């Protein structure tokens, strides 16, 4: 078996193992307030079983004095909650595009500009983005980290139907420990998650009762409490795709076992996919059906309309994006590439780190600092990934949504054959990306970059054009002529 096949089978084996366990033990039977809680653990279980995926510690601690202080500062906003047509839930890490001295939310600010009466809630998910939050182009009406603070405190004291929660969380814990070997999922930890979900639902419900929005639009599958609270109130919910999904994604890819539970799984009523590729990918079991639609990406549309940013300087400009995996191996690979490219191909490297999964430049600078034509940037500093793509001749990564975004912008992309690259193999098998396992192979791609054009048909397959208009058409109370757009 080849290394590629072995890596691919590991990811598949983990996903299929989790699916087998959930089916045999009927894990979707466990509920809080009538909503299945197994989805809160499913993706984490897939990640915990994969040794190539590091733990994600980016979520702010609910015990942090800074978070508690920020929560208290939201009290005035809670006293004057207005009626809203649209509730938008976003994240500080979405502030990735600079407009003058301000920063734009790449998921929603374009949409907000086309709609009236939007209420924008934001979770501060990465402290490195705090300066951008203070300079947001469209400031949030409410920052929501306090919800977790309050829910955690209340969960320690009381929940309705506490005996059932204790029984069900213990039962689910036994399965995760005995069948999946996840010793960290002890009964006490599992019960705490159940109880916090109970209170987060109630707090979000309280907000919804005051806002009374016509719809709720999110950018992440993890909004289980908000989505379930909205669906309890018959408020339509829509999730805009924010990153890469795969046939083995623990949050999105459900087997036919889940079909009878679809109305009790706290996922959005509609998944707004970037393009037909993603819509087809997410629905191989029929779980999503007509609930998955292609709309495109406002950010991709914006950059498609910008003038070409590539300069006339000689050489090949390569953008490398990271995911927080295989740091040492990736840095060593790039160092070997730059060493053999010297005198053969004039190449420059920009290494852009993932805004949540890769928060330290040191592992890369220690190895790549010797090369004058290599730069390393955190996700929270410097130019945005899309600005870098607009100037790049070539993109490379192990497994990243940027593979697809580069194609959407007409930039050839390369898959680096390290651990976890296997989820990108369909892109290679379709002939839409190159796959390299040695620095010399990457050098060959760079030397013959003109032989790797990206046709418009491929770009549109991954990212449907005219995203804002498409998204608005999916809103349940869509009006062809919105007041704000009529003024512009």
Is pLDDT at 378 greater than 80 in this prediction?
Answer: yes
Contact 430, 353 (CB under 8 A): no
| pLDDT tens by residue, 235-270 | 999 999 998 888 889 999 999 999 999 999 999 999
Could you give the CA distance from residue 339 to residue 345 in angstroms, rounded to a whole number? 10
Strands 95-99 and 347-352: unpaired
Same structural domain for residues 235 and 371? no
Mean pLDDT of 339-357: 89
Same structural domain for residues 118 and 171? yes
The band of 2, judged by pLDDT with boundaries at 50, 70 and 90, is very low
The band of 312, judged by pLDDT with boundaries at 50, 70 and 90, is low
Is pLDDT at 383 greater than 50 in this prediction?
Answer: yes
Domain span holding position 99? 1-296+466-488
Contact 354, 346 (CB under 8 A): no
Is pLDDT at 102 greater than 60 in this prediction?
Answer: yes
Contact 347, 334 (CB under 8 A): no
Same structural domain for residues 287 and 315? no
Mean pLDDT of 166-172: 98
Is pLDDT at 63 greater than 90 in this prediction?
Answer: no
Mean pLDDT of 105-125: 94
The band of 62, judged by pLDDT with boundaries at 50, 70 and 90, is very low
**64 vs 409, higher pLDDT:** 409
**246 vs 395, higher pLDDT:** 395
Q: Is residue 135 part of a domain?
A: yes
The band of 55, judged by pLDDT with boundaries at 50, 70 and 90, is low
SS3 237: strand
DSSP letter, residue 82: P
The total domain count for the chain is 2
CA angle 218, 111, 356 (to 5 degrees): 50
SS3 408: helix
Q: Is residue 416 part of a domain?
A: yes
Is pLDDT at 57 greater than 70 in this prediction?
Answer: no
pLDDT at 66: 63
Is pLDDT at 126 greater than 50 in this prediction?
Answer: yes
Q: Is residue 44 part of a domain?
A: yes
3-state helix, strand, coil in the chain (%, to 5): 45, 15, 40
Residue entry with tokens 């999730």: 239
pLDDT at 313: 59
Same structural domain for residues 316 and 236? no
Same structural domain for residues 140 and 285? yes
Q: Is residue 302 part of a domain?
A: no
Same structural domain for residues 131 and 100? yes
In this structure, the chain runs to a length of 488
pLDDT at 271: 96
Phi, psi of 105 (to 5 degrees): -75, 120
SS3 346: coil
Q: Is residue 166 part of a domain?
A: yes
Q: Is residue 169 part of a domain?
A: yes
What average pLDDT does the chain have?
89
pLDDT at 186: 96
Same structural domain for residues 6 and 104? yes
Is pLDDT at 124 greater than 50 in this prediction?
Answer: yes
Same structural domain for residues 435 and 483? no
Is pLDDT at 112 greater than 70 in this prediction?
Answer: yes
| pLDDT tens by residue, 298-307 | 999 999 998 7
pLDDT at 12: 84
Percent of the chain exceeding pLDDT 70 equals: 91
Same structural domain for residues 338 and 251? no
Q: In the Cβ-directed half-sphere of 473, how many Cα atoms lie within 13 Å?
A: 9
- CATH of residue 344's domain is 3.40.50.2000
DSSP letter, residue 54: P
Same structural domain for residues 388 and 424? yes
Q: Which residues does 122 contact at the CB level (< 8 Å), separation at least 6?
A: 89, 90, 91, 92, 133, 140, 142, 143, 144
pLDDT at 108: 97
Q: In the Cβ-directed half-sphere of 480, how many Cα atoms lie within 13 Å?
A: 0
The band of 226, judged by pLDDT with boundaries at 50, 70 and 90, is very high
Same structural domain for residues 262 and 351? no
Q: What is the spatial order of strands in the sheet that 413-416 belongs to?
A: 374-377, 347-352, 316-321, 394-397, 413-416, 434-436
pLDDT at 310: 66
Q: Is residue 301 part of a domain?
A: no
Q: Is residue 386 part of a domain?
A: yes
Same structural domain for residues 176 and 322? no
Is pLDDT at 88 greater than 60 in this prediction?
Answer: yes
Mean pLDDT of 136-148: 93
Contact 413, 396 (CB under 8 A): yes
Residue 1 is encoded by which pair of tokens? 């078996």
Is pLDDT at 483 greater than 50 in this prediction?
Answer: no
Torsion region of 37: left, alpha or beta (phi above 0 gives left; psi -120 to 50 gives alpha): alpha
pLDDT at 452: 85
The residues pairing with 377 across neighbouring beta strands, listed in sequence order, are 352
Is pLDDT at 56 greater than 50 in this prediction?
Answer: no
């Amino acid at each position: 078996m080849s290394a590629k096949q072995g890596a691919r089978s590991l990811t598949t084996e983990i996903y299929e193992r989790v699916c087998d366990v959930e089916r045999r033990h009927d894990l979707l039977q466990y509920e809080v307030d009538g909503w299945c809680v197994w989805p809160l653990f499913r993706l984490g279980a897939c990640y915990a079983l994969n040794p190539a995926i590091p733990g994600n510690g980016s979520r702010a601690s609910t015990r942090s004095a800074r978070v508690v202080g920020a929560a208290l500062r939201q009290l005035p906003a809670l006293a004057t909650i207005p009626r809203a047509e649209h509730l938008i839930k976003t994240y500080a890490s979405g502030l990735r595009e600079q407009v003058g001295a301000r920063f734009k939310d790449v998921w929603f600010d374009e949409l907000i500009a086309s709609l009236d009466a939007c209420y924008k809630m934001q979770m501060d998910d990465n402290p490195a983005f705090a300066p951008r939050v203070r300079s947001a182009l469209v400031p949030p009406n409410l920052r929501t980290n306090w919800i977790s603070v309050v829910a955690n405190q209340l969960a320690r004291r009381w929940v309705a139907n506490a005996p059932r929660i204790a029984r069900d969380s213990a039962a689910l814990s036994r399965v995760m420990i005995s069948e999946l070997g996840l010793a960290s999922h002890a009964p006490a930890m599992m019960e705490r998650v159940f109880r916090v979900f109970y209170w987060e639902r109630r707090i979000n419900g309280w907000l919804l009762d005051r806002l009374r929005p016509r719809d709720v639009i999110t950018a992440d599958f993890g909004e289980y409490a908000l989505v379930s609270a909205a669906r309890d109130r018959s408020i339509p919910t829509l999730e805009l795709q924010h990153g890469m999904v795969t046939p083995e994604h623990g949050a999105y890819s459900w087997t036919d076992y889940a079909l009878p539970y679809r109305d009790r799984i706290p996922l959005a009523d509609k998944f707004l996919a970037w393009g037909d590729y993603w819509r087809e990918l997410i629905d191989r079991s029929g779980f999503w059906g007509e609930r998955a639609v292609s709309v495109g990406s406002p950010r991709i549309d914006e950059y498609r309309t910008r003038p070409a940013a590539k300069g006339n300087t000689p050489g090949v400009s390569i953008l490398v994006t990271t995911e927080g995996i295989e740091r040492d191996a990736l840095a060593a690979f790039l160092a070997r590439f730059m060493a053999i490219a010297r005198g053969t191909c004039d190449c420059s490297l920009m290494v852009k780190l993932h805004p949540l999964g890769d928060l330290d430049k040191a592992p890369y600078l220690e190895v790549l600092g010797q090369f004058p034509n290599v730069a390393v940037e955190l996700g929270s500093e410097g130019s945005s990934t899309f600005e870098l793509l607009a100037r790049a001749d070539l993109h490379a990564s192990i497994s990243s949504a940027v593979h697809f975004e580069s194609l959407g912008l007409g930039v050839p992309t390369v898959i680096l054959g390290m651990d976890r690259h296997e989820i990108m193999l369909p892109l290679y098998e379709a002939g839409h990306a190159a796959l390299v396992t040695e620095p010399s192979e990457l050098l060959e791609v760079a030397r013959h970059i003109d032989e790797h054009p990206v046709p418009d048909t491929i770009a549109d397959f991954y990212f449907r054009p005219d995203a804002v208009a498409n998204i608005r058409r999916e809103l349940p109370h869509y009006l062809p002529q919105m007041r704000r757009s009529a003024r512009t």
